[in-house]
Amino acid sequence: MPELIQAGMGAYISCSRLANVTARLGALGVVSSVGLRHIIPEQIRSGDEVAISLARTFPIARYVEELLSYAPGGSRHKRAIPIDVPDPIKGAFAKRLSVISAYVEVARAKLGHRGFVGINVMWKCSLTVLPSIYGALLAGVDAFLCGAGVPMELPDIVGRIRRGQRLDYEPLTGTGTHVHMDISEDGAENLLRDTPEPSLLPILSNFAFCKRLLDTWQKRYEGATPTAFVLENHAAGGHNAQPRDKVAFGESDDIDAYFDKVMELGVPVYVAGAFAEGGSRNDLLYWQGRGAQGIQVGSRFALTDESGMRSDLRDRAVEAQAEGTLEIRTDPRLSPTGFPFKVVSMKGTLSEPEIQASQRRACDLGYLLQSKRIQRPDGTEHEVYLCPAMPIHTYLANGGAIEDTEGRACLCNALLVTAGFEKEGRVPLVTLGESAAVGPVKRSAREVVEDILTPERAADNERRLALREPIPVAS
Ligand SMILES: Cc1cc2nc3c(=O)[nH]c(=O)nc-3n(C[C@H](O)[C@H](O)[C@H](O)COP(=O)(O)O)c2cc1C
């Protein structure tokens, strides 16, 4: 098991370019599942040759044809990308696009080396959980890291997909969302026979969930055990777990309050978001001294040239960091998931209250949709998908509560704009962990890995993990 995990950061911050570099140098390179159903078709639409060649290696023709229909000259080149809808037949196309998109992103991260590549599957993006896992498995992913939720069913999902079985979870635990995937006609059991058994790393922020997850996996799934827990402190970037008092983080939320207890469970542990030096060699040695396997570092990698963050935003964050003016706060309301979210204060972004207030409410990307069963006047039930950042009248008309909508903003659009995907009328939103305020910033992912593992170790890893044969598609 590597000592360093380059964290999964959505949307597209930990892109395949970043994960490819870190995996070559001996870290676990992680891509994010968030937004891939839009990001990969956009790459295809723009004629990205690597993405197109990798899409062609996907083993099921129908998926390939559908994705490549967005390529220049394709029948859907100018058409919008579909979002998930409850109707199983109409919704199947969006799911297939999510599957092949995850495949292309993982395959790209794995190009040209034998290092380990994982995918961070964001549990609160419930409707893309199953397709992302399926696509990543087909690309031979080495590890699943699951945050923003408790991945109770993860071993079952991986097992069922590997056996080519139908999947139905009503709901996926902790999400309230009903998720389904029918892959019975794909022959997945044959396609996956020779792919590696992936490592499973739940990302959690307290002892109780670690214990409950471990007990549940062992009881329900034939003694299944996580490969490791990633313990994420509340200083980490992106979403954080709710504070225990639901108001503000205090001592009982600190990783120090539960780290030793989790260690006693006998499962290896990685530490995230608890770095005195922002994620350095000293931080690694400190946590290893306390028994951890290693550390998961995000913010430092988000600021490197290989990250998928729009370069002007990255430069502004680095500049503010150098001047000592980088301000990172926890917004308890902004995210439609209901989890606190780390926000970098930056002009012209969603961090400014006036800009947030002027943004149109809409749900046209749909990654944070949750399902809800509502009763028709005749007493029959039907399912709708809701997001508290959608237009208020639609949310209320479909059974949502007004108090859920207050302070929420569309993170899907803002985070895709942050990753460089243009969207008219939409502004970016930068998230970083408190580590980002600790300098100095290194601008290449190689330097960050070398800084943590040592240049000698990184060079050894690079030699050991290099592929001898040339690869068919350039990275
Ligand atoms: C820009 C950014 C986006 C992130 N997005 C996600 C995400 O989508 N899913 C997730 O589990 N964690 C996410 N995280 C948290 C990281 O996976 C990691 O745990 C954290 O960055 C480690 O702490 P650090 O920021 O102090 O390095 C994100 C972090 C950053 C900085």
DSSP notation for 35-66: THHHHHHHHHHTT-HHHHHHHHTSS-HHHHHH
Atom 30 in ligand 1: which residue has the minimum CA distance?
A: 237
**Statement: residue 471 has pLDDT above 80:** no
> Within 13 Å and on the Cβ side, how many CA atoms surround 186?
27
**Ligand 1: does its nearest atom lie under 6 Å from the Cβ of 237?**
yes
**Statement: residue 11 has pLDDT above 80:** yes
Say what the pLDDT of residue 337 is: 95
Task: Determine the Cα–Cα distance for residues 49 and 474; give it in Å rounded to an integer.
Answer: 9
**Ligand 1: does its nearest atom lie under 6 Å from the Cβ of 297?**
yes
Provide the mean pLDDT of the chain: 95
Q: Name the phi and psi angles at 113, rounded to 5.
A: -155, 175
Taking the centre of ligand 1 as the mean of its atom positions, its distance from the CA of residue 383, in whole angstroms, is 32
**Statement: residue 469 has pLDDT above 80:** no
pLDDT band, residue 474 (cuts 50/70/90): very low
**Ligand 1: does its nearest atom lie under 6 Å from the Cβ of 296?**
yes
Task: Determine the Cα–Cα distance for residues 103 and 60; give it in Å rounded to an integer.
Answer: 12
Q: Tell me the per-residue pLDDT of 293-343, one tens digit each, with 9 for 90 and over.
A: 999 999 999 999 999 999 999 999 999 999 999 999 999 999 999 999 999
**What is the 8-class DSSP label of residue 126?**
G
Q: Tell me the per-residue pLDDT of 28-77, one tens digit each, with 9 for 90 and over.
A: 999 999 999 999 999 999 999 999 999 999 999 999 999 999 999 999 99
**Ligand 1: does its nearest atom lie under 6 Å from the Cβ of 177?**
no
Q: Tell me the per-residue pLDDT of 396-418, one tens digit each, with 9 for 90 and over.
A: 999 999 999 999 999 999 999 99
Taking the centre of ligand 1 as the mean of its atom positions, its distance from the CA of residue 222, in whole angstroms, is 31
**What is the 8-class DSSP label of residue 293?**
S
Percent of the chain at pLDDT exceeding 70: 99
Q: Tell me the per-residue pLDDT of 364-377, one tens digit each, with 9 for 90 and over.
A: 999 999 999 888 88
Averaged pLDDT, 204-216: 97
Task: Determine the Cα–Cα distance for residues 41 and 39; give it in Å rounded to an integer.
Answer: 6
Averaged pLDDT, 110-118: 97
Atom 3 in ligand 1: which residue has the minimum CA distance?
A: 9
Fill in the amino acid letter for 450: E
Burial 38-63, CB ≥16 within 10 A → b, else e: bbbbbbbbeebebbbebbeebebeeb
Say what the pLDDT of residue 442 is: 86
Q: Which CATH code is given to the segment(s) 4-308+441-465?
A: 3.20.20
Say what the pLDDT of residue 376 is: 82
Taking the centre of ligand 1 as the mean of its atom positions, its distance from the CA of residue 135, in whole angstroms, is 22
Residue with tokens 């001898």, as numbered in its chain: 468
**Ligand 1: does its nearest atom lie under 6 Å from the Cβ of 326?**
no
Averaged pLDDT, 6-32: 98
Between the two ends of the chain, the Cα-to-Cα distance in Å is 25
Q: State the DSSP string of 183-200.
A: -TTTTHHHHTTTSPPPEE
**Statement: residue 440 has pLDDT above 90:** no
Cis before residue 11, ω within 30 degrees of 0?
yes
Taking the centre of ligand 1 as the mean of its atom positions, its distance from the CA of residue 86, in whole angstroms, is 30
Task: Determine the Cα–Cα distance for residues 125 and 368; give it in Å rounded to an integer.
Answer: 5
Q: CA–CA distance from 246 to each of 237, 250, 251, 339 (Å)?
A: 19, 10, 13, 10
pLDDT band, residue 472 (cuts 50/70/90): low
**What is the 8-class DSSP label of residue 78?**
T
Task: Determine the Cα–Cα distance for residues 318 and 442; give it in Å rounded to an integer.
Answer: 9
Q: Tell me the per-residue pLDDT of 158-197, one tens digit each, with 9 for 90 and over.
A: 999 999 999 999 999 989 899 999 999 999 999 999 998 9
Q: What is the separation of C-alpha 93 from the centre of its chain, rounded to a whole number of angstroms?
A: 21
Sign of CA dihedral 308, 309, 315, 321: negative
Q: Tell me the per-residue pLDDT of 211-258, one tens digit each, with 9 for 90 and over.
A: 999 999 999 999 999 999 999 999 999 999 999 998 899 999 999 999
Taking the centre of ligand 1 as the mean of its atom positions, its distance from the CA of residue 238, in whole angstroms, is 5
Say what the pLDDT of residue 475 is: 45
Measured in residues, the chain has a length of 475
Nearest to 232 by CA among 272, 279, 292: 272
Task: Determine the Cα–Cα distance for residues 260 and 210; give it in Å rounded to an integer.
Answer: 12
**What is the 8-class DSSP label of residue 236?**
S
**Ligand 1: does its nearest atom lie under 6 Å from the Cβ of 13?**
yes
Atom 6 in ligand 1: which residue has the minimum CA distance?
A: 9
Residue 297, strand partner residues: 6
Atom 23 in ligand 1: which residue has the minimum CA distance?
A: 273
Cβ pair 222, 158 in contact under 8 A = no
Task: Determine the Cα–Cα distance for residues 248 and 465; give it in Å rounded to an integer.
Answer: 44
- Name the residue ranges covered by the structural domains of the chain: 4-308+441-465
Say what the pLDDT of residue 470 is: 59
Q: What is the pTM of this model?
A: 0.97
Residue with tokens 């070559």, as numbered in its chain: 24
Say what the pLDDT of residue 221 is: 96
